[in-house]
Amino acid sequence: MHHVYILKCNDGTLYTGYTTDVKRRVREHNEGKASKYTRSRLPVHCVYTEEYQGKSEALKREQEIKKLSRPQKLAIISLRKNC
């Protein structure tokens, strides 16, 4: 399975990413190994995920979410918190 996730960083910002294993990826973020962006904003917490069968579908959705405004991201997070 392929997952798109949104993390809430310690400074309140949101980070969107893609992975095949959400728990592992969040752990990597919190170890400072996953992203330059999150490395200086630790700890991070997963606040939203979506699951897809195909990688291309998940990557397309990741890009769609990244283009959303912060209020739009917060709206989808409030609809379904499933980390």
Q: Where are the domains of the chain?
A: 2-79
Mean pLDDT of 11-24: 98
Whole-number Å distance between alpha carbons of 76 and 71:
9
Q: Residue 34: what are its φ and ψ, rounded to 5°?
A: -100, -40
| Domain covering 2-79, topology | GIY-YIG endonuclease (3.40.1440)
pLDDT at residue 81 tops 70 = no
| Contacts of 32 by beta carbon, 8 Å cutoff, 6+ apart | 39, 42
pLDDT in tens, 30-79: 999 999 999 999 999 999 999 999 999 999 999 999 999 999 999 999 98
pLDDT at residue 21 tops 70 = yes
Whole-number Å distance between alpha carbons of 71 and 23:
25
pTM exceeds 0.85: yes
pLDDT at residue 80 tops 90 = no
Q: What is the pLDDT of residue 83?
A: 79
| Three-state secondary-structure class, residue 66 | helix
